[in-house]
């Protein structure tokens, strides 16, 4: 709001106007139009309020004021109003609430699809926002190896993309994510990433993660390994990825496959600084 006043009224209005408008203009014959923000007036008013009045004369500021008693009232009103004012969106340095961690999860056609499913479940329990892509051969191994259906698995994620959707947000570096995990990761997908062939959404998203210098974990599952596999693993490691072959840790003395899976999932998510708290960490040899 913007107002203009004549010089003769300005002195009295300095008490009244600041409480009604955010900025206004006072005409001074010596200075012309002067724009004020209400706080320009409010701050000297503190001086008036703290000063000692002798009639209309303020002994602190050595000025005459027509309505000195009102300054205290307006001072109180301004404090009350500033407390109830909504925060201004124009101020750029206001801290945004932290967003949920965001991780891309890709399942490919290597054996061990349960690792991908349990990873999605763990991320859901950790309140991480997940962006899921499932390859055609992952769907086949999921059906063959587990009792989960594809709709069940899709329902575990916050966002699901078709592997051919190259226009998905995760295909761009401008979409902010905290990292990506491919679990399980076939040697075919490893080779695509290693050679930079972005011919599906999984290899494209992984390529983006590497170029943006974000966390990429590949749970590559194959055995034994050829020199081609090993070279590809070296190449992606040099580009910043982490190879996490889901090899069992026998020292945990697993009593079920679930124990092994939980351990691998927990150790993979450690790489994103996420603690599933679903496995026992090594604390030295136990005395029986």
Ligand X SMILES: Cc1cc2nc3c(=O)[nH]c(=O)nc-3n(C[C@H](O)[C@H](O)[C@H](O)COP(=O)(O)O)c2cc1C
Instruction: Decide: is 14 part of the binding site for ligand X (CB under 6 A).
Output: no
17 or 219, CB closer to ligand X?
219
Q: Is 186 annotated as a binding residue?
A: yes
- Is residue 21 packed enough to be buried (19+ CB in 10 Å), middle (13-18) or exposed (0-12)? middle
144, 150 Cβ separation under 8 angstroms: no
The CB-side HSE value for 19 (13 A sphere, CA atoms) comes to 17
Q: In angstroms, give the least distance from the CB of 140 to ligand X.
A: 6
The residue number with the shortest CB distance to ligand X is: 109
Q: In angstroms, give the least distance from the CB of 153 to ligand X.
A: 14
Counted residue by residue, the chain has a size of 288
Cβ density class 229-245: b for 16+ within 10 Å, e for less:
beebbebbeebebebbe
Among 58, 71, 130, 135, indicate the residue that binds ligand X (CB under 6 A).
Answer: 135
| Residues in 90-119 that interact with ligand X by CB under 6 A | 108-111
Instruction: Decide: is 245 part of the binding site for ligand X (CB under 6 A).
Output: no
Q: In angstroms, give the least distance from the CB of 269 to ligand X.
A: 21
The set of residues, in sequence order, having a beta carbon less than 8 Å from that of 8 and lying 6+ positions away, is none
200 or 262, CB closer to ligand X?
200
Instruction: Select from 55-63, 67-75, 149-157, 183-191 the region that touches ligand X (CB under 6 A).
Output: 183-191
- Is residue 194 packed enough to be buried (19+ CB in 10 Å), middle (13-18) or exposed (0-12)? buried
Q: Is 251 annotated as a binding residue?
A: yes
Instruction: Decide: is 221 part of the binding site for ligand X (CB under 6 A).
Output: yes
Instruction: Select from 55-63, 75-83, 186-194, 235-243 the region that touches ligand X (CB under 6 A).
Output: 186-194
119 or 141, CB closer to ligand X?
141
Tokens coding 218: 């590949």
Residue 248: closest CA among 261, 235, 236, 230: 261
Among 144, 250, 282, 285, indicate the residue that binds ligand X (CB under 6 A).
Answer: 144
Helix, strand or coil for residue 135?
coil
Q: In angstroms, give the least distance from the CB of 176 to ligand X.
A: 26
Annotated binding site: 109-111, 135, 186-189, 221, 251, 267
């Amino acid at each position: 709001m913007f107002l203009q006043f004549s010089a003769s009224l300005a002195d009295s209005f300095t008490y009244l106007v600041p409480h009604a408008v955010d900025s206004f203009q006072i005409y001074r014959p010596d200075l012309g139009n002067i724009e004020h923000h209400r706080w320009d007036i409010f701050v000297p008013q503190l001086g008036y309020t703290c000063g000692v009045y002798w009639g209309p004369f303020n002994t602190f500021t050595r000025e005459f004021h027509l309505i000195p008693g009102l300054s205290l009232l307006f001072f109180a009103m301004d404090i009350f109003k500033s407390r109830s004012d909504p925060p201004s969106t124009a101020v750029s340095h206001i801290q945004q609430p932290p967003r949920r961690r965001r991780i891309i999860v890709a399942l490919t056609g290597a054996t061990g699809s349960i690792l991908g499913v349990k990873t999605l479940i763990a991320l859901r329990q950790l309140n991480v926002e997940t962006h899921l892509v499932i390859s055609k051969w992952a769907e086949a191994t999921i059906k063959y190896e587990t009792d989960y259906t594809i709709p069940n698995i899709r329902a575990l994620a916050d966002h699901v993309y078709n592997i051919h959707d190259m226009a998905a947000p995760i295909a761009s570096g401008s979409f902010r994510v905290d990292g990506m995990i491919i679990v399980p990761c076939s040697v075919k997908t490893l080779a695509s990433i290693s050679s930079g062939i972005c011919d599906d959404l999984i290899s494209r998203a992984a390529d983006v993660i590497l170029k943006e210098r974000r966390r990429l974990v590949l749970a590559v599952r194959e055995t034994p390994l050829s020199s081609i596999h090993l070279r590809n693993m070296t190449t992606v490691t040099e580009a910043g990825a982490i190879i996490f072959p889901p090899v069992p840790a026998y020292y945990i003395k697993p009593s079920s496959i679930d124990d092994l899976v939980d351990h691998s999932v927990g150790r993979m998510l450690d790489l994103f600084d996420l603690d599933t708290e679903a496995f026992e960490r090594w604390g030295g040899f136990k005395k029986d």
